[in-house]
Chain A
């Protein structure tokens, strides 16, 4: 979150731990709340709400990856597999057992968490690049399991999933779904924010920065890494469950490996190890995707001598270009740049 401005002193531990530490931050949160829950549903059409819904689901998924990779330093390229586990758990329970959303959603989180625990086990012996490869293997295991799941997963054919229903309200429109997704995204963000300020969060950072030193200090790094994996998977499971209920239909092709890479890429763009950075990364990713969607047909219509598929391919390169530029120019992510900008405003007109 935003750094405390110079001159703001805490006199008690409660003040130090509080979320809203300055009136500015309180105002900002109120504005954000108004924007999310009042202004957007009023002015946005179905298309914009659809984009916001995807952003909300991705924010939940990204929170998990940020805890695992950003805070705990464990690279996962199997994040989409955890999302798939959540999506399929929800769909299987909804379709085969007729469970309602209030039961499928927590079940999806639980099952994904269990998967996360299993995948976290190798962290006892391996780390770094090797753990990344084990998560890659996990992705393929999940895809294989879905394809060979017979009637349970319906193999290549895909599985339908009912729209969520809570307290007699069916979330079968973009707007209703928007409220559900945003409320869950806010809850997920608050939980993640509090988690990283807890002893677990500090433990994660210690493991990330130097796991040997962390172990010398008495931290059980295997336990911490396992917990990070479990939490990451639980967030992904929640996102997957929402995704399945939102779309109403899932197939194995909806969970490509490349999406795990994009999640990692845009976590870097937003800022690793920062809650706001993770959100920024998702928003940036989804908005660029929209620009690409609009740009390719418009450019090819305006400049008909250009090849349509060439234009589409060129605009897709924007994703890669953004990541490269951030890695070169601002490896600490956009959130760091934002903090620098804020600081310079606070100190203006002084240079330091």
Chain B
């Protein structure tokens, strides 16, 4: 009986403690207006592993902005829900955030599919979306979605230009092959406009090789690629999948015979960890500043990473900071314009469309939006693995190869 009483007491104390903590969690900042910034990441589901570094990054970016009083006269508050890589959950999560108190004045999204599904919801709720994904529907005004990465097809264009200028030594024209994931992300650069762009440069497409989401053997694809005589490739794959391809290419003596280009999401640091020297020569059209350049370009990111003793993947961490930089800068502009206590979705929207060449705190290439321009970046940073190290090869313009884009050959 006595033992039961003790257990009851302990449980009661624990429950009370938990309740107090919850209440404390809901307490606002006294004195200053609180501006909520929403985040809809996917910590679970298919994107869970890749987006795990966003968890510490979201907290650190807000904490740093508050510590330097980035938005003068207001405190920023992070609100987030886990979308679970599930559109229904994400939709409910979006509505939960939108109905919250304080409701976020901007929400950062992290998925092409879900961001696309929420395009009309954002416009209806008048809450801008700073989006990590990219689709045509998102960038068509009057959308309230502002995408961070350049379209994958534009990243492809940047890689083609870079390859022709700095890598291809001739003679004649190089041969191109698609080497990409067999999913929407991997296939998204494979458009009519991409074909036209290659054709306009006199480049022949000699192969289209698709890699399953979770590949175990890609010898067949590698052998076809070898037989095609392709000089360079492009695609979108996470490093885990690309490492299988690189190992299979080594088995058939292909290492170093073809220049592999990837869109921004192939984390080169991870790739080097997985396959070591086999990663040499792989290039990506990156939208995230090289981790080694943080101390120089993004000291606040480095500072917070060190201060909080983070151990998470740095590339993902920096990528998340980049989106928060855009959102927080927009809130700052809005607060300056309408006053910190009057910032709402409309004010942030106006701030976003006026954003020009914002350096995203050094986390990415410069960011600009306009009334009709919803793509943040028109350049990428070409990064490559050289002697087992990831190096920057400098910024490269990303041609506008979206349907009707100005760089699409007629």
Contacts and interface: CB of A to CB of B under 8 A. Distances in A.
A46 B95 contact: yes
Given A248-B120, A290-B92, A297-B81, A46 B137 contact: no
A154 B117 CA distance: 14
A293 B188 contact: no
A252 B187 CA distance: 13
A222 B334 CA distance: 65
A155 interface: yes
A289 B88 contact: yes
B277 to A, nearest CB: 32
Q: Is chain B's binding surface mostly helix, strand, loop or mixed?
A: helix
Contact of B92 (A158, A289, A297): A289
A308 B59 contact: yes
B153 to A, nearest CB: 11
B92 A249 contact: no
Contacts of A294: 96
Interface string B37-78: 000000111101001100110110000000000000000000
B135 A157 contact: yes
B93 A293 contact: yes
User: What secondary structure prevails in chain A residues at the interface with B?
Assistant: helix
A147 interface: yes
A111 interface: no
A293 B137 contact: no
A31 B212 CA distance: 52
Interface string A46-59: 11001100100010
A78 B289 CA distance: 42
Interface in A137-165: 147, 154-158, 160
B99 A308 contact: no
B278 interface: no
A294 B88 CA distance: 15
A330 interface: no
B391 interface: no
Contacts of B112: 156, 251, 253
A20 interface: no
B300 interface: no
Nearest to B125: A46
Interface string B167-207: 00000000000000000110110000000000000000000
Contact of B121 (A160, A247, A251): A247
A282 B127 CA distance: 29
Contact of A302 (B21, B86, B95, B184): B21
14 contacts: A157-B188, A247-B117, A248-B120, A249-B118, A252-B113, A253-B116, A254-B117, A297-B81, A298-B25, A301-B25, A302-B21, A309-B55, A312-B43, A316-B44
- What are the 6 closest A-B residue pairs judged by CB atoms, nearest first? A253-B113, A248-B120, A47-B99, A308-B55, A312-B43, A302-B21
